[in-house]
Structure 1
């Protein structure tokens, strides 16, 4: 298959299967999809190249008793690339993008402590040259995102296939989950490769196979650890990415959020602090499709008082950072 070629139904099934369970063995996926193990492995390798597919382990900050923050920074045009790159290299950021006009950088930050949050928001960013404004928005309630990604809405799998591939349900949270140093070392490996083998996890962490298995099961069953599929959105026909900052009447906050979560265009929606109290990320085939979505879907939502639309020009970081490749001079 040539680079840039459209994905076929089996590719889409594989992507959705991995979104359901990022560590599902190829043998189980193959059995459910009715193909050989070798076919699934070959398709996976092809998607790694063509779609820059990566399966990454992600921690649910809510399960750890931590908050996530979305930070908007406006800066002079000559500073945006450098600022975005610096934020992307930080281990406490999970998403960084350059937005409309090339003068806005947005990042999702997951500080491990109040001190780490304050150091970045009130000290470092405020003193960064050519940053003209900083606004920080705490994520109050996610409506869609996290373990639920856009691929869950792909409908590539049949209901029976989806049921066969879905992992056991996560236990109901009874309070924050505490992590020890061995948990953290395991999570550090999975953040870079969610499909790292047991042998690779043993070697990297110095833990026994039985301990790795027990800790993996605990982290997953408590919902602390889930797996996300990172890939090029363009191969799924998503040429236009937008961030919608919605100002919603408080009485309509929950209803608007739940409706957004059902929209096939929405990979992420959450209630946040600030005048614009819902943020939704959306994906579209064209600018015309974005216009239709705004006018027909968003415009029809009762309680929406205003919406600010910012186009995403480029993702600099999505879960993990890879330096942008540039041509040799």
Structure 2
């Protein structure tokens, strides 16, 4: 489990994924060497990774949440193929290991992700059913972190560490940003010299472009870390059907629940999807029957237990041999 300093460091990275260790150390009251050492240990032992991600809407991409049902003997191989795709994130084994869910990032010109799936993972490979749900609006997730992973710092510490834009020159992502964004997807804490080598730009140009993209909200930094280290033992995807007139009200209510790490409106027979991270099955049951059950506008609910998360927020992997276990 994490100690107080581990939790404080993770919370600090949620506030600003590129904050210098010296600034984090000053706020936490420890040395910069201690912060750097803890960060390296968490990367090795807890799967901690800071990743820079382009806002999909500003980047001109649509996102699809795809559900695949497969024969038990094929599910692991299909999931592994999805993990290796450069256009996927949040690949999960659910519902007894015979269902796979994944987010596919598609250019807006693509009406659906079916062509992407059928090109590389044909139905004859063991897939028995496919459904695709366009993510219309995200209420919780992306730049908004899971609150239970960011409760270690007081208000004064949070104010000292929160990212503040350093420029008013707001520009949207451009084709020339591909190398920069690709490098940040792998490691959001790469130094300006490393990013300069990856892009062929000068360090000053890298710094300016980073500041512009962050000021525009076109680039944000996410923190990947094993949710089990926060006491999570029960994970589930929740597929909800809500009357359209009540959708916004219910989604905003769900976005305020500490048990949830993700809430989005989707197309399909269910129009809201959420991810629950709870201490144990009894805690999940209490959440479903009491807190979620109190929302009378929810017509139907399907609960899909998450067995494993094989790929998290970033489409880029740095170690394909290490399939992530037990993360949010």
TM-score, normalised via structure 1 length: 0.91
Residue correspondence of structure 1 range 149-168 to structure 2 within 5 A: 149-151=145-147, 154-168=150-164
Distance across 2 between alignment mates of 1:297 and 1:163? 31
Question: Among residues 105, 108, 122, which one is paired with 1:110 in the alignment?
Answer: 105
- Contact conserved, 1:19 with 1:152, CA < 8 A, in 2? no
Secondary structure of residue in 2 paired with 1:62: coil
Q: Which runs of 5+ in 1 are unaligned?
A: 1-5
Count how many residue pairs are aligned between Structure 1 and Structure 2. 318
Q: Report whether the alignment pairs 1:227 with 2:221.
A: yes
C-alpha RMSD over aligned residues: 2.2
Residues 158-195 of structure 1: per-residue CA shift (max 9 Å, x gap): 011111111126999x9x934122x1111111110100
Residues 80-108 of structure 1: per-residue CA shift (max 9 Å, x gap): 11111111111110110110121101000
- Contact conserved, 2:149 with 2:230, CA < 8 A, in 1? no
Question: Among residues 105, 126, 133, which one is paired with 2:129 in the alignment?
Answer: 133
1:154 deviates by: 3.0
Question: Among residues 295, 320, 324, which one is paired with 1:323 in the alignment?
Answer: 320
Secondary structure of residue in 2 paired with 1:246: strand
Distance across 2 between alignment mates of 1:128 and 1:95? 24
- Contact conserved, 1:99 with 1:312, CA < 8 A, in 2? yes
Q: Report whether the alignment pairs 1:275 with 2:269.
A: yes
Secondary structure of residue in 2 paired with 1:41: helix
Distance across 1 between alignment mates of 2:28 and 2:125? 54
TM-score, normalised via structure 2 length: 0.91
Q: Which runs of 5+ in 2 are unaligned?
A: 324-328
Question: Among residues 296, 313, 321, which one is paired with 2:307 in the alignment?
Answer: 313
Secondary structure of residue in 2 paired with 1:68: strand
Secondary structure of residue in 2 paired with 1:267: strand
- Contact conserved, 2:7 with 2:149, CA < 8 A, in 1? no
Distance across 2 between alignment mates of 1:153 and 1:233? 8
